[in-house]
Amino acid sequence: MLLANYSGLILECGTDEAGRGCLAGPVTAAAVILPENFKNAILNDSKQLSEKKRTVLKPIIEERAICFGVAHIFQEEIDEINILNASILAMHQSIDQLTKTPEFVIVDGNKFKPYKDIPYDTIIKGDGKYLSIAAASVLAKTHRDLYMDKIHEEFPMYNWKQNKGYPTKEHRAAIKKHGITKYHRKSFRLLPDQFKLDL
């Protein structure tokens, strides 16, 4: 059973990211402030949900949230500032979009940087513990998946529609065969050591 609130404050925002471990595409974060009475029987950490359930939840969260924001940080910037900084920046930018200023921020994981002067706490596996972080994880994942589906049309040989840019065997085999695209993260190890890639 996910908990509704961590801080005891009404405008508590949950934030989470998706796509941190991917070889291609953006890292995407969402921030969500839910109403006090928000309940949903299927909402959970997005990794525990089927694509179908996430798709059902997306409009429910977007309609019922007090406010939400979603931000992509793209591969060029990930390569420049590293994936951890890019993930935190995506979270900050998603909070920037909220139409109400949060009184407290709860963050999935154990790394964050202060956002303005708003108090925050990091919660390991928070997306499986608190409704607002779970909601943020669903929005980050669904918005990122839609973006990956779109760029799949441009480079179908990598099958991003299916693997969403994660380092699957199929994705790595396609990189080995076709090389890399403008969407690949050049600072990542795109192929295991036995396959060297000329960047």
Q: What is the pLDDT of residues 85-105, one digit of tens each?
A: 999 999 999 999 999 999 999
Return all residues near 96 (Cβ < 8 A) that are at least 6 apart.
69, 71
Task: Please write the tens of the pLDDT for every residue from 149-180.
Answer: 999 999 999 999 999 999 999 999 999 999 99
C-alpha distances in angstroms, 92 versus 132, 164, 191? 16, 23, 31
User: What pLDDT does residue 193 have?
Assistant: 62
CA distance 196 to 150: 29
The structural domains of the chain, with segments of one domain joined by +, span 12-152
DSSP string, 29-74: EEEEE--TT---SS---GGGS-HHHHHHHHHHHHHHSSEEEEEEE-
Say if pTM beats, i.e. exceeds, 0.75: yes
- Percent of the chain having pLDDT more than 70? 96
Give CATH for domain 12-152.
Answer: 3.30.420.10
Cα atoms in the Cβ-side hemisphere of radius 13 Å centred on 9: 15
- Look at residue 101 in the predicted model and tell me its pLDDT: 97
> In this structure, what is the dihedral angle of CA atoms 62, 92, 128, 151, given to the nearest 10 degrees?
70
What integer pLDDT is reported at residue 1 of this predicted model?
A: 83
Give CA–CA dist 159/26, Å, rounded.
16
Neighbours of 80 (CB within 10 A): 11
Give the whole-angstrom CA distance, residue 90 versus residue 86: 6
Q: Which residues of 116-152 are buried (b: 16+ CB within 10 A; e: fewer)?
A: eeeebeebeebbbbbbbbbbbbbbbbbbbbebbeebb
Q: What is the DSSP string of 120-147?
A: EEEETTGGGTBHHHHHHHHHHHHHHHHH
Identify whether the C-beta of residue 27 lies closer than 8 Å to the C-beta of residue 17: yes
With both helix axes pointing from N to C terminus, report the angle between 131-152 and 51-64 in degrees, rounded to the nearest 10.
Answer: 120
Determine the length of the chain: 199
